[in-house]
Amino acid sequence: MIKKGEKRRAASPHTKGRQVRDEARADIFRILGDAPLSRDHLIENLHRLNDAYGHLSAPHMAALAEAMKLSQVEVYEVATFYHSFRVVKEGEVPPPRTVVRVCGNLACRMKGAENLRADLERALDGKADVVAAPCMGGCDRAPAVAVGGNQIGEADVEKVAAAVDGGDTAPFLPGYDGRLDYSQWRRCLDRSVRPDAVIDAVEASGLRGMGGAGFSAARKWRFMLDAPRPRVMVVNADEGEPGTFKDRYCLEATPHRVLEGALIAAWAVGAESLYIYLRDEYAAVRAILQKEITRLEGAELTGGITIHLRRGAGAYICGEETALLESLEGKRGQPRNKPPFPAQVGLFGLPTLVNNVETLYWVPQILTEGPDRFAMQGVNGAKGLRLYSVSGRVANPGVKEAPAGISLSALIEEYCGGMAKGHQLMSFLPGGASGGILPASFADRPLDFGAFDDVGCMVGSGAVVVLSQHDDPLETARDLIAFFADESCGQCTPCRIGCDRMKGLLENPAANEGLIRELASAMRDASICGLGQAAPNPVLSVLDHFGKGGS
């Protein structure tokens, strides 16, 4: 007999189409438990299902749609947008429960990731689903491989096979002592310092947004002060560009420092809620943050600010702040048109401050040491310190805390132990995949905002990838435009079609140079967000600085 509630659900417009099976409905109730069912929790609930079964089946997505009072197409379009979800259509055979993701971008490709993936497919022989993956923020320990939620650095077949056989997918937790210091945040709570004084100090330090744009942090904060309440603060921890891993370092080693900076920023602009959007590839960081947030709440150190930790789902585009907001609302991560800007209409339509992890990382130090001391540590006209993600052909890759404005030559020699054995500096990416590719002749310029504007390149988030005589700049540009084509959200034609068309034109750049430049101009002028606008940068820089053949 059909129960009254079930009959009402079956007649609901939200369940038109596929009929919900009783067993699938029971699975949903069991997996979700008392998890929230509001629209903004759709991605979180999809993760719960994907984690439980290793994939998303059509019956389960239909049952989830019913439980959340959403149409089935809404659930399906969100699930298929993100790389982390493995959607299995009706009648398809589910893949193996364990998935092994092998990064194939830049630094990992240099360390033989393609051969490793082939070797793993042979060695595992169907015990796991071995797939190529975009950059997972492990460039300093390439090649990077993830088994379930556990990321393995400097991976080889033996390490990965052991993880698959042992079922060990628990995230690795670095040694962090968990001290609850938060001295500058305590000063805010006891009113030893005023919000306007905090913003003044940040302004005097010269701190800029470290997510790539380099906009004044204090000016961005001040935009919020005249906005109506309630206000929201969002931490963008979704770095996904090849060569970028500094945010992972900050959150693994000093989560308390980032959280302190975020709480101070939220308090200074009068935000009542704090959302941390963390990329899905950082399972270890997620465990660390969950533990630290629980400790903060237990010690009653949140100052009445509600902290939400949300999990991304493998979409590079969500590093763009408005796409991130869409994803936080449980939607596909597609950028919004601007204006209005997030400070006016942001998360859930509320005024929202969005800051990058590294930007917030520096706030406690600025308030502790004083803004003048922080500012004076820069070189070559730059202010302050910054974190550079250095990967590629250097002896000691990793995150380097160095003066803002340092040159590549000094960064390699003083912080990276020089070039790797057998390699000579021939070219480099000053700012990750979208920053362009330059020859070694530019290695003495400061790695600072605006320093490469005249040659069409940028430092951005400080992701420095070092190439040698063994790396072909044109091949690197091909790989990067393929990455952008794969990560395009598809919303606007210039980016969706442009990236794919650019890939084809690079098969013969000498013959297609005019068309490449015309296409690049259209992409820059007409794309909605920075992905499409910056995607041509590596291609154009190779044409400009390495000749039509790329070398």
DSSP line for 260-277: HHHHHHHHHHTEEEEEEE
Tell me phi and psi for residue 143, to 5 degrees.
-80, 140
Q: Do 194 and 240 belong together in one domain?
A: yes
Q: Where does residue 104 rank: exposed (0-12), middle (13-18), buried (19+ CB within 10 A)? A: buried
Give the range of the structural domain holding residue 44, as residue numbers without chain letter. 4-88
pLDDT greater than 90 at residue 5: no
The Cα 262–Cα 150 span in angstroms is 27
Q: Do 241 and 360 belong together in one domain?
A: yes
Is residue 414 one of the residues assigned to a domain?
yes
Q: Where does residue 131 rank: exposed (0-12), middle (13-18), buried (19+ CB within 10 A)? A: middle
Q: What is the pLDDT confidence band of residue 382, given thresholds at 50, 70 and 90? A: very high
- Cβ–Cβ < 8 Å for 393, 467: yes
Q: Do 479 and 528 belong together in one domain?
A: yes
Q: Do 199 and 311 belong together in one domain?
A: yes
CATH classification at residue 508: 1.20.1440.230
CA distances from 506 to 416, 493, 510, 513 (A): 33, 19, 9, 9
- Tens-digit pLDDT profile for residues 238-295: 999 999 999 999 999 999 999 999 999 999 999 999 999 999 999 999 999 999 999 9
Q: What is the pLDDT confidence band of residue 16, given thresholds at 50, 70 and 90? A: low
Is residue 173 one of the residues assigned to a domain?
no
Instruction: Write down the pLDDT at residue 12.
Output: 46
Q: Do 386 and 443 belong together in one domain?
A: yes
Instruction: Write down the pLDDT at residue 150.
Output: 84
- Cβ–Cβ < 8 Å for 45, 64: yes
Instruction: Write down the pLDDT at residue 548.
Output: 57
Instruction: Write down the pLDDT at residue 15.
Output: 46
Q: Which structure tokens are listed for 400?
A: 């380097």
Residue with tokens 């006016």: 344
- Cβ–Cβ < 8 Å for 164, 186: no
* 3-state secondary structure labels for all residues of 131-181: EEECCCCCHHHCCCEEECCEEECCCCHHHHHHHHHHCCCCCCCCCCCCCCC
Instruction: Write down the pLDDT at residue 96.
Output: 87
CATH classification at residue 383: 3.10.20.600
361 three-class SS: helix
pTM: 0.93
The Cα 170–Cα 509 span in angstroms is 46
CA distances from 252 to 143, 259, 280, 388, 396 (A): 19, 12, 14, 16, 19
Q: What is the 8-class DSSP label of residue 364?
A: H
Is residue 94 one of the residues assigned to a domain?
no
Name, in order, each residue with C-beta under 8 angstroms of 434's C-beta and a sequence gap of 6 or more.
Answer: 212, 241, 458, 460, 484, 530, 531, 534, 535, 537, 538
Strand partners, 467: 427
pLDDT greater than 80 at residue 463: yes
Q: Do 358 and 391 belong together in one domain?
A: no
The Cα 183–Cα 81 span in angstroms is 42
Is residue 551 one of the residues assigned to a domain?
no
348 three-class SS: helix
Q: Do 446 and 337 belong together in one domain?
A: no
Is residue 171 one of the residues assigned to a domain?
no
CATH classification at residue 156: 3.40.30.10
Q: Do 200 and 290 belong together in one domain?
A: yes
- Cβ–Cβ < 8 Å for 438, 455: yes
β-strands 425-429, 438-439 pairing: antiparallel
Boundary of a domain, candidates 318, 349, 368 = 368
Is residue 175 one of the residues assigned to a domain?
no
Q: Do 242 and 284 belong together in one domain?
A: yes
Based on DSSP, count helices (H) and strands (E) in the chain, helices before strands: 24, 15
Exposure string of 351-367, with b = 16+ CB inside 10 Å and e = fewer, is bbbbbbbbbbbbbbbbb
Boundary of a domain, candidates 107, 140, 166 = 166
User: What amino acid is encoded at 56 in this protein?
Assistant: L
Boundary of a domain, candidates 412, 434, 464 = 464
Q: Do 142 and 195 belong together in one domain?
A: no
- Cβ–Cβ < 8 Å for 257, 242: no
Q: How many domains does the chain contain in total? A: 5
- Tens-digit pLDDT profile for residues 523-546: 999 999 999 999 999 999 999 999
- Tens-digit pLDDT profile for residues 81-114: 999 999 999 888 888 888 999 998 899 999 999 9
First-to-final CA distance of the chain: 74
Is residue 515 one of the residues assigned to a domain?
yes
Is residue 93 one of the residues assigned to a domain?
no
Around Cβ 428, how many Cβ atoms within 10 Å?
28
CATH classification at residue 45: 1.10.10
Please state, rounded to an integer, the average pLDDT across all residues of the chain. 92
The Cα 120–Cα 530 span in angstroms is 36
Q: Do 131 and 220 belong together in one domain?
A: no
Q: What is the pLDDT confidence band of residue 308, given thresholds at 50, 70 and 90? A: very high
Q: Do 532 and 499 belong together in one domain?
A: yes
pLDDT greater than 90 at residue 339: yes
The Cα 170–Cα 99 span in angstroms is 14
